[in-house]
Structure 1
């Protein structure tokens, strides 16, 4: 009887270790988390530009537009893959931001069309303040 109890005890310990190892693989194999990229609105040197002006993201990622210098700024999308003006408008952050640190975030859904999304700052478009987000 003691012999059977020891076998069951060792078998239970072995099975517990196997379950623990398998569970640790499942936890460590989780999918990559979405990232958030920051684009400064206004360069550190006072130039009217987005920094960086070109960003590459993946579906599911977000881009945060943050006031840095020479406000006011906004981010208006004018060209999107497929040319859907309504979709471009839905991504746009038309509201002018005035204070350093103010921000607006654009999220690209997991099913976002791949390609180039161009945007500009409405008050400074004539100065060339524009950029591109590429969704790969």
Structure 2
């Protein structure tokens, strides 16, 4: 009986670890700026994610960059959840500056209601450098 129980427990443990690993996805978002070509963008500009996924922002060119979520359209719980998910915040809903090129910033998507969450790069806001986080149903 004991030998039958051990493989079953081991199998369940492996299945639960595998399920957890598949649930989290890393979405790389590149941050680019080239004033000579008038290019200021997040690539991709829209990311569809689920709570638990990771947003990996990478400063590729034109640093410094930042990620600031638009506060005006957020509910109180969404505002708190996003602030809580942003380590080393520079301010409300704002990442620290990513400088130099090559710098990275990670946000683990918190429990947010399905919908669109807009963000922008503060140093390049005048150039309309913005992106959208779409939370899937």
TM-score by length of 2: 0.70
1:12 is aligned to: none
**Structure whose CA Rg is larger:** 1
CA positional deviation for 1:24: 3.5
Q: Does 1:36 align with 2:26?
A: yes
CA positional deviation for 1:17: 4.4
How far apart, in 1, do the equivalents of 2:95 and 2:15 lie? Answer: 40
How far apart, in 2, do the equivalents of 1:87 and 1:41 lie? Answer: 25
How far apart, in 2, do the equivalents of 1:101 and 1:64 lie? Answer: 12
Q: Deviations over 1:16-37 (max 9, x none)?
A: 5422431243023213232332
Aligned residues: 120
2:80 is aligned to: 87
Q: Is the 8 A contact 2:65 2:123 kept in 1?
A: yes
How far apart, in 2, do the equivalents of 1:60 and 1:67 lie? Answer: 22
Q: Deviations over 1:30-80 (max 9, x none)?
A: 132323322111179x73100111111111122121111011211110058
1:49 is aligned to: 41
Q: Is the 8 A contact 1:79 1:117 kept in 2?
A: no
Q: Deviations over 1:72-109 (max 9, x none)?
A: 21111005875348438725334322201212222222
Q: Is the 8 A contact 2:81 2:112 kept in 1?
A: no
How far apart, in 2, do the equivalents of 1:87 and 1:80 lie? Answer: 13
TM-score by length of 1: 0.70
Q: Secondary structure at the match of 1:74?
A: coil
How far apart, in 1, do the equivalents of 2:30 and 2:68 lie? Answer: 15
Q: Secondary structure at the match of 1:22?
A: helix
Q: Please tell me the root mean square deviation across aligned C-alpha atoms, in Å.
A: 2.8
Gapped regions of structure 2 (runs ≥ 5): 87-92
